[in-house]
Amino acid sequence: MQTWDLTTLDVAPHKPEVIETEKEGRAIVVELPAGEMLGDHQVHERAWLLAIFGSIELSGADGEAVTVGPGTLTTFEPNERHEVRAVEDYRLLLLLSPWPGVGHPSEA
Protein backbone atom coordinates (compact mmCIF):
# COMPACT_ATOMS: atom_id res chain seq x y z
CA MET A 1 0.00 0.00 0.00
CA GLN A 2 1.13 3.55 -0.75
CA THR A 3 -0.46 6.77 0.47
CA TRP A 4 0.00 10.45 -0.35
CA ASP A 5 -1.31 13.56 1.41
CA LEU A 6 -2.23 15.57 -1.67
CA THR A 7 -2.89 18.70 0.37
CA THR A 8 0.71 18.96 1.65
CA LEU A 9 2.66 17.39 -1.23
CA ASP A 10 5.43 19.74 -2.42
CA VAL A 11 4.31 20.61 -5.96
CA ALA A 12 5.71 23.60 -7.84
CA PRO A 13 3.35 25.55 -10.11
CA HIS A 14 3.52 24.31 -13.71
CA LYS A 15 5.68 21.33 -12.70
CA PRO A 16 3.30 18.37 -12.46
CA GLU A 17 4.29 15.73 -9.92
CA VAL A 18 3.77 12.17 -11.21
CA ILE A 19 3.00 10.14 -8.11
CA GLU A 20 2.23 6.76 -9.70
CA THR A 21 2.51 5.19 -13.16
CA GLU A 22 1.27 1.74 -14.09
CA LYS A 23 -0.17 0.35 -17.34
CA GLU A 24 -3.65 0.77 -15.85
CA GLY A 25 -3.16 4.51 -15.38
CA ARG A 26 -1.09 7.46 -14.26
CA ALA A 27 -1.71 9.75 -11.25
CA ILE A 28 -0.39 13.32 -11.44
CA VAL A 29 -0.72 16.27 -9.06
CA VAL A 30 -0.86 19.66 -10.81
CA GLU A 31 -0.76 23.14 -9.26
CA LEU A 32 -1.91 26.19 -11.22
CA PRO A 33 -1.62 29.75 -9.83
CA ALA A 34 -4.69 32.05 -9.88
CA GLY A 35 -5.25 33.67 -13.25
CA GLU A 36 -3.16 31.16 -15.19
CA MET A 37 -4.53 28.69 -17.69
CA LEU A 38 -3.86 25.53 -19.59
CA GLY A 39 -5.01 26.54 -23.08
CA ASP A 40 -7.04 24.42 -25.45
CA HIS A 41 -5.62 20.88 -25.27
CA GLN A 42 -6.47 17.19 -25.15
CA VAL A 43 -4.94 13.97 -23.88
CA HIS A 44 -5.04 10.53 -25.49
CA GLU A 45 -6.34 8.90 -22.31
CA ARG A 46 -9.60 9.23 -20.37
CA ALA A 47 -8.91 11.99 -17.84
CA TRP A 48 -10.36 12.45 -14.36
CA LEU A 49 -9.69 15.76 -12.55
CA LEU A 50 -10.27 15.85 -8.79
CA ALA A 51 -10.06 19.32 -7.22
CA ILE A 52 -7.98 19.32 -4.03
CA PHE A 53 -8.06 23.06 -3.26
CA GLY A 54 -8.89 26.31 -5.07
CA SER A 55 -11.24 26.73 -7.99
CA ILE A 56 -11.00 26.59 -11.76
CA GLU A 57 -13.14 27.29 -14.77
CA LEU A 58 -13.32 24.39 -17.22
CA SER A 59 -14.36 25.02 -20.82
CA GLY A 60 -15.23 22.25 -23.23
CA ALA A 61 -15.03 22.19 -27.02
CA ASP A 62 -18.77 22.92 -27.13
CA GLY A 63 -18.17 26.28 -25.41
CA GLU A 64 -19.81 25.15 -22.15
CA ALA A 65 -17.96 26.48 -19.09
CA VAL A 66 -18.30 25.51 -15.44
CA THR A 67 -16.50 26.65 -12.31
CA VAL A 68 -15.53 23.85 -9.90
CA GLY A 69 -13.93 23.73 -6.48
CA PRO A 70 -12.60 21.30 -3.86
CA GLY A 71 -14.07 17.84 -3.92
CA THR A 72 -15.38 18.14 -7.50
CA LEU A 73 -14.60 15.27 -9.86
CA THR A 74 -14.69 15.98 -13.61
CA THR A 75 -14.07 13.54 -16.44
CA PHE A 76 -13.08 13.99 -20.08
CA GLU A 77 -13.31 11.41 -22.85
CA PRO A 78 -10.06 10.46 -24.62
CA ASN A 79 -9.10 13.27 -27.05
CA GLU A 80 -11.85 15.60 -25.76
CA ARG A 81 -10.62 19.19 -26.14
CA HIS A 82 -10.84 21.52 -23.13
CA GLU A 83 -9.30 24.52 -21.35
CA VAL A 84 -8.54 25.04 -17.66
CA ARG A 85 -8.29 28.50 -16.04
CA ALA A 86 -7.43 28.93 -12.36
CA VAL A 87 -9.88 31.30 -10.62
CA GLU A 88 -7.86 30.83 -7.39
CA ASP A 89 -4.60 29.01 -6.71
CA TYR A 90 -5.61 25.50 -7.66
CA ARG A 91 -4.35 21.97 -7.07
CA LEU A 92 -5.80 18.91 -8.74
CA LEU A 93 -5.24 15.19 -8.97
CA LEU A 94 -5.22 14.12 -12.62
CA LEU A 95 -5.81 10.44 -13.38
CA LEU A 96 -5.14 9.20 -16.92
CA SER A 97 -6.23 5.74 -18.02
CA PRO A 98 -5.04 3.54 -19.57
CA TRP A 99 -1.41 4.64 -19.60
CA PRO A 100 -0.29 5.39 -22.20
CA GLY A 101 -3.49 5.84 -24.22
CA VAL A 102 -3.82 4.86 -27.87
CA GLY A 103 -1.85 7.33 -29.97
CA HIS A 104 0.19 8.73 -27.07
CA PRO A 105 3.76 9.52 -28.23
CA SER A 106 5.28 7.30 -25.49
CA GLU A 107 3.09 4.33 -26.44
CA ALA A 108 5.35 1.34 -27.10
What does the pLDDT average to over 93-104? Answer: 86
- Report the chain's mean pLDDT, rounded to a whole number: 90
Domain-wise residue ranges, the chain: 22-97
CATH fit for domain 22-97, picks 3.30.43.10, 2.60.120.10, 3.40.50.10490, 3.40.1260.10: 2.60.120.10
**Over 70: is that where the pLDDT of 108 sits?**
no
Beta bridge partners of 14: none
Q: What is the pTM of this model?
A: 0.86
**Over 70: is that where the pLDDT of 107 sits?**
no
Of 86, 92, 104, which Cα lies nearest the Cα of 48? 92
- The pLDDT of residue 26: 94
**Over 90: is that where the pLDDT of 62 sits?**
no
- The pLDDT of residue 37: 87
